[in-house]
Amino acid sequence: MTSKIYILIGPPGAGKGTQAKNIANTKDFVLISTGDLLRENVEKRTELGQIAKSYMDKGEFVPIELVARIIKSNIEQNLGKSGFLFDGFPRDLSQNALLDEMLKEFNLDVDKVIYIDVKDEAILERLTNRRVCPKCKKVYHMKFNPPKKDELCDDCEVPLITRDDDKPDVIKNRLATYHKSTHPLVEHFEKGGKIIRINGEKSPKEVENQIIANI
Ligand code: AP5
């Protein structure tokens, strides 16, 4: 059986992480989130994590060789599974060329690209109000999806934290990088007829329903 390949794409704060886990669970896909994998390396203070942190804190792309290492080992470990969902990769045309090359090696090809469309004005509000549980990584929003108790994770009861790259200056940089480097991929995949365009400005449940109905 050939594994299905899906990609989640959208600006920072579009809700990719919020949706990715549910989609992967529903479809029984392996989730490969480069942001989460890089943060895991930062937390464990691996050599790769220490290099990555200096880029992530400024809202810049981590060098492609480091990202390639993470992606390749994750594909290899999960070959034969029913599908893969990529969140945060590819992030520009050169990463897309690299993905094509890796997939070809395993006789795989991209099936569909889920584009979560959210305007810049909504992004700033989403990211400045995002809080994350440092233990289980659950994502909250202080207005749209607040924890039950003041700034404590509902499940772990530990204080929630703000991501280092959710500072207003860094958010602006991430958004600018998205428009310059990542958004051209949407046009690229659109030409190939692979884009599923999702209105990301609905509630998380409505966004999830749109996605599930389309894949
Ligand atoms: P990464 O972690 O991938 O960050 P990102 O793409 O900027 O996306 P975010 O995680 O910020 O947002 P999201 O879309 O997942 O939104 P979320 O669901 O949390 O990457 C971080 C960094 O790592 C990069 O800047 C780069 O340095 C490096 N990196 C990663 N991949 C790389 C690669 N391939 N190459 C090189 N470098 C790489 O939602 C946001 C908030 O909104 C939350 O508070 C949530 O509760 C809320 N929310 C979600 N959905 C809704 C909704 N429908 N309505 C209202 N609120 C909502």
155 lies in a domain? no
Pocket test of ligand 1: the residue of 114, 129, 144 to mutate, having most ligand atoms within 8 Å of its CB, is: 144
Interval between CA 67 and ligand 1 midpoint (Å): 16
151 lies in a domain? no
CA atoms of 160 and 147, how far apart (whole Å): 9
Alpha-carbon dihedral angle through residues 93, 99, 102, 103, given to the nearest 10 degrees: -120
CATH number at residue 67: 3.40.50.300
| Residues classed as catalytic | 16, 91, 130, 163, 174
Answer yes or no: is the C-beta of 204 below 6 A from any ligand 1 atom: yes
Interval between CA 106 and ligand 1 midpoint (Å): 28
Q: Give tens-digit pLDDT for 63-121.
A: 999 999 999 989 999 988 999 999 999 999 999 999 999 999 989 999 999 999 999 99
The pTM score is 0.95
State which residues form the domain around 32: 4-118+181-214
127 lies in a domain? no
Confidence of residue 215 (pLDDT cuts 50, 70, 90): confident
Q: Give tens-digit pLDDT for 123-154.
A: 999 999 999 999 999 999 999 999 999 899 99
140 lies in a domain? no
Interval between CA 12 and ligand 1 midpoint (Å): 5
The DSSP result for 46-101, as a single string, is -HHHHHHHHHHTTTPPPPHHHHHHHHHHHHHHTTTSSEEEEES---SHHHHHHHHH
